[in-house]
Structure 1
């Protein structure tokens, strides 16, 4: 090992420890916001769960808003694991697989549902995030439905944009019901039923 290698190792050590602490804080904030929301969960709650002082926490995240946005960004990183590089599957299969993927990640659906509902309140820092997310989802699904219409797969009378809006609303609604009664609500089954209503079977 050269002197340069020793220097690099020394620099990586503190950085790795700092990144580990940051991830610990994000995990704690994820749990707190999922359980209590942004308004109800305090920085002290997060610090206590992370096993540090609030002063130490603020060293990594200068404000509660910064922490929230970082938690939402991390949530997107986690759920992106549902999308492989090779996306050749159809829209219905992609949506259903993603729904099942999210159910297996503790706290992801709870965090999303709680913060999304809370974001409609006055001056909530997550409002722009969720507004942009819904716009992006509606546009993306509308394009996919339009492609299916061009292939003759969309049932007569179904509008691609309306189908996209309905899909987003249904998915969120099913997830909320699933959180309240997981033994009674099957999100994947509900989504599959929707696609059966708006899509024609693939030709043999």
Structure 2
């Protein structure tokens, strides 16, 4: 950890720019969460923060960078449900399931944004490509650590590979999101994730 004495706070114009960028991302998260990815627009975000569209995009290289920034902010706020600073263990898995439930109930527009942008960003040329590569690598590593800790604690079923369990959980989450977006009333994403995890565990989730 970097000692706090060595950390310098942003000053002057840089601090104002960072604060403005954060304000734009927070407004974007609210707009997309409320109106959905397709209905939400840069114009609406600009109106919320009292800027022109050109002025808003001045803080980002393009619209896709703004969208990826909104998803990064969503990830930051997810720590309310998943403690990413502590030891990964069974509580990490429980937290992810609670987060899936929360996103379905409160943030459907951001679920849509994630699905659309992650699919488009599979192209190496896409502005959000690096963000999603980093994100999936981190999520895989974190979930693998959780399953490894569970295995050491005797909470994982015999023969379950922690990395495969983590990959399966990510794939299940992504697939459920697409199915849920197509037919929202046809499934409970959190419950389906619990059903997937049940045979992998030696304890109740």
Same fold (TM over 0.5): yes
Q: Do 2:81 and 2:98's aligned partners in 1 also have CA atoms closer than 8 Å?
A: yes
Structure 2 unpaired stretches of 5+: 1-11
- 2:142, 2:177 → 1: CA distance? 20
Q: Do 2:71 and 2:110's aligned partners in 1 also have CA atoms closer than 8 Å?
A: no
Aligned length: 180
Q: Do 1:28 and 1:50's aligned partners in 2 also have CA atoms closer than 8 Å?
A: no
Deviation at 1:62, TM superposition (A): 4.8
Residue matched to 1:73: 72
Of 116-125 and 55-64, the range deviating more from structure 2: 55-64
Deviation at 1:24, TM superposition (A): 7.3
Q: In the TM superposition, what whole-angstrom CA distance separates every residue of 1:65-119 from its partner, at most 9, and x where no partner exists? A: 5423432322223433323688886344222111112223331211111111111
- What secondary structure, in the 3-state scheme, does the structure 1 residue paired with 2:156 have? coil
Are the structure 2 counterparts of residues 23 and 66 from structure 1 closer, same or farther at C-alpha, using a change threshold of 3 Å? closer
Aligned with 1:171 (options 152, 173, 179): 173
Residue matched to 1:184: 186
CA RMSD of superposed structures (Å): 3.2
Matches within 5 A, 1:20-59: 22=24, 26-27=28-29, 30=32, 34-35=37-38, 46-47=42-43, 50-51=46-47, 53-59=52-58
The TM-score normalised by the length of structure 2 is 0.72
- 1:153, 1:142 → 2: CA distance? 14
Matches within 5 A, 1:1-150: 19=20, 22=24, 26-27=28-29, 30=32, 34-35=37-38, 46-47=42-43, 50-51=46-47, 53-83=52-82, 90-106=91-107, 107-150=109-152
The TM-score normalised by the length of structure 1 is 0.72
- 2:38, 2:188 → 1: CA distance? 22
- 1:86, 1:140 → 2: CA distance? 11
- 1:86, 1:156 → 2: CA distance? 26
Structure 1 unpaired stretches of 5+: 1-10
Of 55-64 and 135-144, the range deviating more from structure 2: 55-64
Pair member with larger Rg: 1
